[in-house]
């Protein structure tokens, strides 16, 4: 368990990070500049709180979530694999991933909405695509981080075996790396769906520069009901959402979890598997068996052959590429992007300089209060998710009972329940401060829990049996077996939860409630206020500051701990 591997180089904030920050600032400027002053008229769909519309709205939202997840999955496999295998690329890609996951969803709004609506001016296609992309930004980062760290942590023995069998890069990816990452990817996929539901209300219905942008869906239904104070419609919307989540858990996630158990690294194979009664039911069906043999398997085989051919084609092209030509193209591309970076970076700086002195004075205190709330939420999350996650991941009977319950609770948008919570807390505390911590907690604790469960599930039965034979119990069992085994998963959860917590601040520190706006001092509140009022200089500056804070925390704390886990707690067999 404590196999020492080649230490990775210590990465500190460097020129690369500075260039990436400048590039992100330039991109944000370009986005905001295109949106600023653009006269785009959009007639938002009328959102009815008639309960008869709930099935249709639920279907629309689920389809948007599925489209966003498909994009997230493809992005995860490509981005995570390239970063894991190319150290030079990783020096740029991982800091970039840090920054992207720290950019709040609302900061993407002007970019995505204005741009896509301009492309599709006479239909809702642009708004639909914008909603899908915004949901994508709430789903993809934790999946990509998980996949990247899983590939980096593949047991050295398996890599050596792949080399002995002379597997090419594609074959190694397909037979070694993807199976090794399966458990973490499955649980982070579930977390991504929960994260998508969390931001669904913000993605289907929002205000920007005084204009209403609305799409029919479950998120907009819940937000409309909350804004109108329609408690009956709100609770029926939540019940519908719960039913959708339970249905998806039974017919999708349970079978996938059961399937992913076969990728657990162990030699004895004595572990008790998760059971999916829906999957067992389907396997008993003659119709399903016929479709599986005559349709599903041939289609999967055909697609597998097609993907293999495409992958090998690009692999051969990359191997046979003329190095001199590649170098020339690389220099040309870098020069082009450098010119763009300098131009838009300078314009971004000019836009930031337009921030009023009044707004500038608000920023330091806002950062402090948001940091304080995020820290409190993270500590509370870790305190309960660590023991609960380990209990669920290592005990199949416990998992059978609590996994679907957690999946349901994690997927209920906290923003949908917030009006109910606010009505109680504000009367007693008189402010949004404590309530905003609660909303952050409700939205981000699941990043930790799902990763801890995945880590506990991935502990080989061999090690558990050995610990039992040696009589390891209590704190000693945690110190020797559990914490070293789940440490990489725990850190992945903390990294994504940190970004998610700061993202959640934008909806927890600035809330529309019963026809009025309730807000507190915080960086998230500044971003929400700037987005709603069209204050682009403040939006750009506050977004950049949030990126700096999140990346600073990741580099100074979580990445250092991850280096320790990569050096000391890598699981080799």
Q: Is the dihedral of CA 49, 53, 54, 58 positive or negative?
A: negative
In tens, the pLDDT along 41-81 reads 444 567 888 888 888 888 888 899 999 999 999 999 888 88
In tens, the pLDDT along 352-403 reads 888 888 888 899 999 999 999 989 998 999 999 999 989 888 887 787 778 7
Nearest alpha carbon to residue 501 among 452, 541, 554, 455: 554
Six-digit token string for 541? 């500056």
CATH code of the domain occupying 17-34+49-264+278-568: 1.10.3720.10
Q: State the Cα–Cα distance between residues 181 and 153, nearest whole angstrom.
A: 9
Six-digit token string for 192? 């991504």
Q: Is 145 helix (H, G, I), strand (E, B) or coil?
A: helix
Ramachandran sector of residue 11 (left: φ over 0; alpha: ψ -120 to 50; beta: rest): beta
Q: Domain boundaries in the chain?
A: 17-34+49-264+278-568
Nearest alpha carbon to residue 543 among 14, 26, 16: 26
N-term to C-term CA, the chain: 8
Nearest alpha carbon to residue 508 among 410, 439, 429: 439
pLDDT of 6 reads 36
Query: CA dist 267 to 181, 260, 262, 481, 573, Å?
Result: 18, 16, 11, 17, 9
Six-digit token string for 181? 């990452």
Q: State the Cα–Cα distance between residues 90 and 82, nearest whole angstrom.
A: 8
Per-position pLDDT tens, the chain of length 573: 333 333 334 445 556 556 666 666 666 666 555 545 444 444 456 788 888 888 888 888 889 999 999 999 999 988 888 888 887 778 778 877 877 776 766 566 656 666 677 777 666 777 888 888 888 887 888 888 888 888 887 777 788 887 788 777 777 787 888 888 888 888 888 878 877 776 777 777 766 656 677 788 888 888 788 777 787 888 888 888 888 888 887 788 878 877 777 776 655 544 455 555 566 666 666 666 666 676 666 776 666 666 666 656 655 665 555 555 556 666 776 677 677 777 777 777 888 888 888 888 899 999 999 999 989 998 999 999 999 989 888 887 787 778 777 767 776 666 666 666 666 666 665 566 777 888 788 767 888 888 898 888 878 888 888 888 888 888 888 888 888 888 888 888 888 788 778 877 877 887 766 667 777 888 888 888 887 777 888 888 888 888 888 878 877 777 777 777 666 666 555
Six-digit token string for 169? 């890069």
Assessment of whether the complete model's pTM goes beyond 0.85? no
**Torsion over CA of 255, 196, 505 and 455, rounded to 10 degrees?**
20
**Cβ atoms of 246 and 197 closer than 8 Å:** no
pLDDT of 23 reads 66
Q: State the Cα–Cα distance between residues 309 and 263, nearest whole angstrom.
A: 25
**Cβ atoms of 105 and 26 closer than 8 Å:** no
Give 107's contacts (C-beta < 8 A, 6+ positions apart).
28, 527, 531, 539, 543
DSSP-assigned beta bridge partners for residue 510: 519
pLDDT of 168 reads 74
Six-digit token string for 377? 């939420």
CA 242 and chain centroid, separation: 21
pLDDT of 181 reads 84
């Amino acid at each position: 368990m404590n196999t020492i591997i080649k230490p990775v180089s210590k990465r500190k904030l460097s020129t690369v990070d500075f260039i990436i920050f400048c590039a992100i600032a330039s991109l944000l400027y370009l986005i905001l500049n295109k949106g600023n002053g653009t006269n785009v008229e959009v007639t938002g769909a009328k959102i009815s709180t008639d309960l008869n519309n709930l099935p249709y709205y639920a279907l629309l939202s689920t389809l948007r979530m599925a489209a966003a997840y498909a994009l997230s999955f493809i992005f995860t496999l490509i981005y995570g694999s390239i970063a894991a295998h190319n150290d030079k690329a990783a020096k740029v890609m991982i800091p970039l991933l840090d920054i992207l996951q720290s950019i709040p969803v609302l900061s993407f709004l002007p970019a995505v909405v204005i741009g896509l609506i301009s492309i599709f001016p006479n239909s809702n296609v642009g708004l639909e695509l914008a909603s899908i992309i915004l949901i994508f930004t709430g789903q993809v980062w934790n999946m990509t981080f998980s996949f990247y760290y899983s590939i980096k942590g593949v047991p050295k023995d398996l890599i050596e075996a792949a080399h002995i069998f002379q597997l090419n890069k594609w074959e190694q990816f397909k037979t070694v790396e993807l199976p090794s990452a399966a458990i973490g990817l499955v649980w982070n996929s579930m977390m991504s769906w929960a994260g998508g539901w969390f931001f669904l209300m913000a993605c289907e219905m929002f205000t920007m520069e005084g204009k209403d942008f609305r799409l029919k869906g479950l998120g907009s239904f819940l937000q409309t009901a909350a804004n109108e104070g329609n408690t009956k419609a709100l609770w029926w919307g939540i019940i519908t959402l719960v039913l959708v989540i339970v249905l998806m858990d039974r017919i999708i996630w349970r079978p996938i979890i059961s399937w992913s158990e076969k990728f657990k690294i162990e030699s004895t194979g004595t572990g008790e598997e998760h059971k999916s009664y829906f999957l067992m039911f389907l396997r008993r069906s003659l119709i399903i068996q016929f479709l599986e043999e005559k349709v599903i398997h041939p289609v999967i085989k055909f697609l597998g052959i097609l993907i293999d051919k495409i992958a090998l084609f690009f692999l051969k092209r990359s191997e046979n590429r003329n190095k001199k030509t590649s170098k020339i193209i690389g220099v040309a591309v870098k020069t082009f992007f450098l010119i763009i970076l300098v131009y838009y970076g300078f314009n971004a700086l000019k836009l930031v300089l337009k921030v009023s002195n009044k707004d500038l004075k608000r920023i330091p205190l806002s950062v402090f209060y948001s940091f304080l709330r995020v820290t409190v939420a993270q500590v509370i999350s870790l305190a309960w998710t660590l023991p609960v996650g380990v209990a669920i991941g290592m005990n199949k009977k416990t998992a059978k009972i609590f996994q679907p319950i957690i999946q349901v609770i994690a997927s209920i948008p906290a923003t949908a329940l917030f009006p109910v919570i606010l009505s109680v807390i504000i009367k007693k505390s008189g402010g949004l401060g404590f309530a905003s911590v609660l909303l952050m907690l409700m939205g981000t604790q699941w990043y930790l829990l799902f990763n801890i469960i995945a880590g506990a599930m991935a502990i080989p039965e061999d090690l558990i049996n050995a610990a039992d034979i040696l009589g390891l119990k209590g704190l000693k069992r945690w110190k020797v077996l559990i914490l070293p085994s789940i440490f990489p998963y725990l850190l992945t959860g903390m990294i994504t939860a940190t970004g998610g917590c700061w993202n959640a601040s934008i909806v927890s520190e600035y809330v529309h409630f019963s026809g009025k706006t309730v807000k507190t001092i915080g960086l998230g509140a500044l971003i929400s206020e700037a987005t709603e009022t069209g204050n682009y200089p403040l939006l750009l500056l506050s977004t950049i500051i949030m990126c700096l804070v999140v990346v600073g925390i990741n580099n100074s704390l979580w990445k250092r701990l991850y280096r320790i886990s990569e050096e000391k707690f890598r699981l080799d067999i």
